[in-house]
Homo-oligomer: A and B are copies of this chain.
Amino acid sequence: MAGVRARQKEKTRRALIDAALNQLSAEISFSSLSLREVAREAQIAPTSFYRHFQNMEELGLTLVDEGGLALRQLLRQSRQRIDSGGSIIRVSLETFMYFVTNHGSVFRLLLQERSGTSREFRDAVAREIDHFKSELADYLVAERELPRLIAELQADAVVRVVFSAGADALDLDATQCNLLMEQTIVQVRMIVRGAATFMDDIQTLPASVHIPAKPDHSS
């Protein structure tokens, strides 16, 4: 029941995933990756690739799921550390920027496929981002006692600004990156304060736009 065979299969599957991740860089996007090169780096014959994924797209979707999950876990984790005092905004942004600079390939993947040419990819990334938004909105409702509607608009705006800043951070050195982070922190605070001023005219707010629900393979 040990599954010598299954274990080996899982192993080369990971090899493929890691090979893909490895080849991703500032100069090489996922869409410019070739099945043959990935297979080569994973030390298997090109045609053996198909024993694990139907095509490159399926591999890519796996990467998106794993990447999104990793970032979300990191953020969730750092949000818990906050309960013992400290600014959530600052800590969350530090965590986020850490991810961007230390896992650039993954973040770049998310960014690129979010506006990429495959509907499946875009939806997959949209789902990941929606998770961030939801978790943040839930937090705002629970801890800050904001009305759901305002919390969601605010969370949406914050996520948009932060992701966009993350994109810029990819090309900056450490000092400029920190400056950008400080700037982003202020911008998030602007949104927070601004959102609070909408407590009075809730009834004028539009409902949130929801993305079409689709299967989700994450936790």
Contacts and interface: CB of A to CB of B under 8 A. Distances in A.
A207 interface: yes
Kindly report how many copies of this chain are found in the complex they form together.
Answer: 2
A116 B183 CA distance: 24
Interface in A79-127: 108, 111-112, 114-119, 122, 126
> Looking at chain A's contact residues, is the secondary structure mostly helix, strand, loop, or mixed?
helix
B160 A164 contact: yes
Interface string A193-217: 1110110000001111100000000
Interface in A110-158: 111-112, 114-119, 122, 126, 153-154, 156-157
A10 interface: no
A90 B182 CA distance: 29
A174 interface: no
Given A191-B157, A206-B179, A29 B197 contact: no
A3 B199 CA distance: 66
Given A31-B29, A160-B164, A195-B194, A209 B180 contact: yes
A117 to B, nearest CB: 5
Interface stretch (A12-20, A45-53, A63-71, A165-173): A165-173
A44 interface: no
Contacts of A190: 153-154, 157, 190-191, 194-195, 197-198
